[in-house]
Structure 1
Amino acid sequence: MFYSYTRRKIVVIRILKRYGSTNSFHNIPGPLSLPGIGTLYQYLPLIGSYKFDRLHWNGFKKLKKYGPVVREQMVPGVNIVWLFKPDDIEVMFRSEGKYPQRRSHLALEKYRLDRPNVYNTGGLLPTNGPDWLRLRSIFQKGLSSPSAVHNFLPESNEIIQEWLYRLEDICKTPDLVYANELSRLFLELICLVALDLRMNSFSKRELRPNSRSSKLMKAALTTNSCILKTDNGPQLWRKFETPLYKKLRKSQEFMEEVAIDLLSLKMTFFNEDRKKPGSLLESYLSCPDLDFKDIIGVVCDFLLAGVDTTSYTTSFILYHLAKNRLSQSTLYQECKRLLPKPDSPVTKEVLSEAQYAKAVVKESLRLRPVSVGIGRVLDKDAQFSNFIVPRGTVVVSQNQVSCRLKEYFPDPNEFRPERWLKTHKYYQQPHPFLVIPFGHGARSCIARRLAEQNMLIFILKLTRSFKFRWDGSDIDSKSLLINQPDGPISLIMEKRSEDS
């Protein structure tokens, strides 16, 4: 009996050793990490295999070499696990807990926490835990439902129509950089929502390089360009002001100055009969659980996260439509049916029927999402494929890579809006955790519905009024935290006649 028991124990130990090592966190394959520098040597120009500004290229290489679960110590002592399978991505979100955590915008958080006279927290983007939930619960109220964002339809239509009237003149300009023009448009739309005012970004004075709106757009771009490198590079900026941190600080100081000035202006008139019923700013200023420092932080977050995100995403939509004339023609037929005249407003009824326009946006986001993926810090141990990953590990999905794989989408590199229409032969219900450009769950993009609504209004009204074709080289995305076109948005615009 003793012999039998001992033998069974030995067998169990052997099984545990075998499968325990196979499933061990430290056996997850990935790039070699060196003492003191992690895998940063792999990202050095000329000698490295990877690039900080091409995260999707890196992802394809890692998937091919190491498989669907990859472990990397980019910064010594900080493990990052990259996920490529949608089932694993789903597990990541199921393991985020009550307070979904991210390891992101670390230098921005430091900047704000070093200024307690201006900010209460690091803001919505970097903050974790109960402080994040408090802010999120309050600030999402005016943006969490379709009916809430429909309140902004009249003013959004007005601003976009004004931009289109201007487009009739500016599209004749040789070598026009449409990316900057789109940034101006979405800056105006964001300020309408966040501050309940117009920036007059299209005026002659504001078009100057040193104008407030021009500097604000530059400050947002500079900050977003610094985030990825300060998050994942040597964090020397925690000890002294590095050149990269200095750029971020100066950009944030300007954004903060503008936010305070504009908020102070609105506060002056808050108690007068000039406030708009139901405006976001009114609800923030009236909330007893918020003070002025909380509102400064969220306004800066809106400016930082809203302008470049929507302008770059819209740039990619225009690129795909300009290169796919049949898709553009199909969209135009829908626009003409829903909008009797070129200057007809986009209403909530129009939005509900604009199925092809929604498919265009979704297909462009499949190919060129807002970012390469979504990051979380695990709230509990989780199993991804065959590997157990411990609580506290940084896990990042690779949706941009996964959405280009044949096992998930037929002809994955082709722009086919029809694949999202249930009545079309190309329709195929994908895994729900594949195309999630705005994230998922409690920590998804707070302004997702507003961003989608503004982009839909824009492409409906633009396509109703203009034909456009591509006049440049193919473009790809480069990673500046969010995906930016890596080349100019070279479009040739032509005003449509009523018979076209």
Structure 2
Amino acid sequence: MTVRRRLLEELRKTVGPYGRRPHTTSLQPVVEDLVDPNIRQITDVKPYSEVPGPREFPLVGNAWRFLPFIGHFSIEQLDQVMWSLYRDYGKVVKVGGLVGHPDLVFVFDGNCIEQVFRREEVMPHRPSMPSLRYYKQYLRKDFFGNTAGVIGIHGKQWDEFRCQVQQVMLQSGAAKNYVGPLNQVADDFMSRMEILKDENQELPDNFLGEIYKWALESIGRVALDTRLGCLRNDISQDSETRRIIQSIHTFFVNVAEVELRVPFWRVWSTPTWKKYIGALDVFRELCMKYISEATDRMQREGQERTMEDRSLVEKIILKTKNPKIAAVLALDLLLVGVDTTSISVTSSLYQLAKNPEKQEALFQELKAVLPTPETPVEVKKLEKLPYLKACIKETLRMYPVIIGNGRSLQSDAVVGGYHIPKGVHVIFPHLVVSNIEENFPQPNRFIPERWIKSDGCPAHKIHPFVSLPFGYGRRTCLGRRFAEAELQILLAKIFRKYKVEYHYEDFKYKICPTYIPENPLKFRLINRQ
């Protein structure tokens, strides 16, 4: 097929479902502007070589920019790198010549992001974690086999696995059955917060580690119907719970080094690679103990429990008749659900502490729905907390836990008026896109009201593709509904009971590879009357 014909095919894909025209801007010519319906000639499509971006040097391309000492692209400051690319080159930027990696095309425009998502294949490829895929499909293939899960996996294996679990995970009421158990976990964490406060009513510097324990306990309760004991006061340094948390932390600390720098691990086992693999092995072995206990308990109890009372592992086993699928799903949920949910809680606490008038508005909503701080958070009560949900949305807009995702193109495409060839990784830098003035007026201000609908419409019309903290399409986060329930329940309890203050330096964030604050979390908690 000629280049001209391939481009015509890709242009047809840019039209939305049932022929709907995509949003248009001066950056993105619509299909009618590109293809004359009479003569079918392509106009205004620029070649890939014209995509602006930092200059590539012979042999080393742009890889040198990420090297220590001589480079100026720091992995830990990838957020600043993304901002500089946007300011220096515009809304479509190419970073090519990355040794061991495909070219990257950064897209800083909501219409173009929508364009790529609308045309994606049945089995979309996300440019994420080849190291994890290597771990699952080669190093530990004896364990995973053909059931490798959804994290770091693409193609037919990913599609078959997701099809077997998505009905349980993504149905509209999937998380409702777990609101009660999550409320109990949140109550235990609230009790622990009281113990952790010092004489100034402040939480300790390492409070993020405590939030990690809450997140792990919550996922364990939902996925395995098991209380892991993370919130006990007597957890020893060598306990299985602490080792699980430490393995997750080690994984995230080293994954940025493994994934974003020159992949020397493909040639020899570097010290970073050894830590990375060791953390995954420890995590898998410890978690499998609890997963096995959950499946054994299910077999003992037989059909005595209703479907609503069962854990996710049990539901998946009953649906698929395959315990391995349930085990791998639980591993994926535990691996990516602790760090991400914990940071979301942390950033929400910070934003509301720094904006007392917004916190007061939230408290008034909570007081109307929860008469006392001890009132259980139930499904019907969560439905009456729109301002709480808006606060979470606004936090994740300003500080998305994952600052960007993307797609690995499986065929040629036209993006932002440029021909982008197959194999290129198109990156959606959500942190930048969701903090651009044209997308969100006064983007540096915490304004939950922008998400509140008035007379059926939001106060400011928000493009649906400029804030996607949970992704989009077939690769949207499988655990989204459960993560949202965890966040809403815990934050409702905290802000119903306490006025939260923060009197130290403004938060600074780093890439690890999640977007994590570096500051001590010395929040001050004042009991509400």
- In the superposition, the TM-score normalised over structure 1's length comes to 0.91
Q: Do structure 1's residue 259 and structure 2's residue 282 form an aligned pair?
A: no
Corresponding residue to 1:407 among 438, 442, 453: 438
Distance 1:101 1:406, change over 3 A: same
Task: Identify which range, 118-127 or 353-362, moves more after superposition.
Answer: 118-127
Q: CA deviation at 1:55?
A: 2.0
Q: Secondary structure of the equivalent of 1:140?
A: helix
Matches within 5 A, 1:166-181: 166-172=192-198, 175-181=204-210
Q: For residues 185 and 455 of structure 1, what CA distance do their matches in structure 2 show?
A: 11
2:350 equivalent in structure 1: 319
Q: Do structure 1's residue 225 and structure 2's residue 264 form an aligned pair?
A: no
Task: Identify which range, 73-82 or 467-476, moves more after superposition.
Answer: 73-82
How well do the aligned residues superpose, as a CA RMSD in angstroms?
A: 2.2
Distance 1:288 1:463, change over 3 A: closer
Q: For residues 306 and 157 of structure 1, what CA distance do their matches in structure 2 show?
A: 18
1:451 equivalent in structure 2: 483
2:312 equivalent in structure 1: 280
Q: CA deviation at 1:19?
A: 6.5
1:79 equivalent in structure 2: 103
Any conservation in 1 of the 2:388–2:488 contact (CA below 8 Å)?
yes
Q: Do structure 1's residue 89 and structure 2's residue 113 form an aligned pair?
A: yes
Any conservation in 1 of the 2:212–2:339 contact (CA below 8 Å)?
yes
Q: For residues 289 and 100 of structure 2, what CA distance do their matches in structure 1 show?
A: 41
2:514 equivalent in structure 1: 482
Matches within 5 A, 1:416-431: 416-423=447-454, 427-431=459-463
Q: For residues 407 and 392 of structure 1, what CA distance do their matches in structure 2 show?
A: 31
Q: For residues 73 and 53 of structure 2, what CA distance do their matches in structure 1 show?
A: 13
- Taking every aligned residue pair, what percent have the same amino acid on both sides? 29
Q: Secondary structure of the equivalent of 2:116?
A: helix
**Residue identity matched to 1:91:** Q
2:387 equivalent in structure 1: 356
Q: Do structure 1's residue 115 and structure 2's residue 131 form an aligned pair?
A: no
**Residue identity matched to 1:98:** V
Any conservation in 2 of the 1:405–1:412 contact (CA below 8 Å)?
yes
Q: Do structure 1's residue 271 and structure 2's residue 299 form an aligned pair?
A: yes
Distance 1:358 1:168, change over 3 A: same
Task: Identify which range, 410-419 or 275-284, moves more after superposition.
Answer: 275-284
1:396 equivalent in structure 2: 427
Any conservation in 1 of the 2:164–2:320 contact (CA below 8 Å)?
no
**Residue identity matched to 2:299:** N
**Residue identity matched to 1:193:** V
Q: Do structure 1's residue 66 and structure 2's residue 89 form an aligned pair?
A: yes
Q: CA deviation at 1:471?
A: 2.6
Any conservation in 2 of the 1:24–1:387 contact (CA below 8 Å)?
yes
Matches within 5 A, 1:1-150: 23-73=46-96, 74-76=98-100, 78-113=102-137, 114-120=139-145, 121-150=147-176
Q: Do structure 1's residue 201 and structure 2's residue 230 form an aligned pair?
A: yes
Q: Secondary structure of the equivalent of 1:117?
A: helix
Deviations 1:37-71 (CA, angstroms, capped at 9, x unpaired): 43232123444332112222111100111111111
- In the superposition, the TM-score normalised over structure 2's length comes to 0.86
Deviations 1:268-297 (CA, angstroms, capped at 9, x unpaired): 3222228753321112223446342x3333
1:159 equivalent in structure 2: 185
**Residue identity matched to 1:191:** G
List structure 1 segments (4+ residues) > 4 angstroms apart after TM superposition.
17-20
Deviations 1:187-245 (CA, angstroms, capped at 9, x unpaired): 00011122120101111332x33322222112112212222332232222123211111
1:377 equivalent in structure 2: 408
Q: Secondary structure of the equivalent of 2:487?
A: helix
Any conservation in 1 of the 2:313–2:327 contact (CA below 8 Å)?
no
Task: Identify which range, 471-480 or 37-46, moves more after superposition.
Answer: 37-46
**Residue identity matched to 1:445:** C
Q: For residues 412 and 222 of structure 1, what CA distance do their matches in structure 2 show?
A: 33
- Structure 2 stretches of 5 or more lacking a match? 1-40
Q: For residues 424 and 362 of structure 2, what CA distance do their matches in structure 1 show?
A: 44
Any conservation in 2 of the 1:168–1:495 contact (CA below 8 Å)?
no
Any conservation in 2 of the 1:358–1:456 contact (CA below 8 Å)?
yes
Distance 1:412 1:253, change over 3 A: same
**Residue identity matched to 1:475:** F
Q: CA deviation at 1:176?
A: 3.9
Distance 1:288 1:415, change over 3 A: closer
Q: For residues 492 and 364 of structure 2, what CA distance do their matches in structure 1 show?
A: 10
Q: For residues 399 and 406 of structure 1, what CA distance do their matches in structure 2 show?
A: 14
Q: Do structure 1's residue 471 and structure 2's residue 503 form an aligned pair?
A: yes
Q: For residues 297 and 273 of structure 1, what CA distance do their matches in structure 2 show?
A: 22
**Residue identity matched to 2:160:** R
Any conservation in 1 of the 2:353–2:501 contact (CA below 8 Å)?
yes
Q: Secondary structure of the equivalent of 2:516?
A: strand
Corresponding residue to 2:337 among 290, 306, 313: 306
Q: For residues 173 and 489 of structure 2, what CA distance do their matches in structure 1 show?
A: 15
Distance 1:289 1:392, change over 3 A: farther
Q: Secondary structure of the equivalent of 1:269?
A: helix
2:216 equivalent in structure 1: 187
Q: Secondary structure of the equivalent of 2:168?
A: coil
Q: Secondary structure of the equivalent of 2:510?
A: strand
2:26 equivalent in structure 1: none
- Structure 1 stretches of 5 or more lacking a match? 1-16
Q: For residues 53 and 65 of structure 1, what CA distance do their matches in structure 2 show?
A: 20
Q: CA deviation at 1:252?
A: 0.6
Any conservation in 1 of the 2:244–2:287 contact (CA below 8 Å)?
no
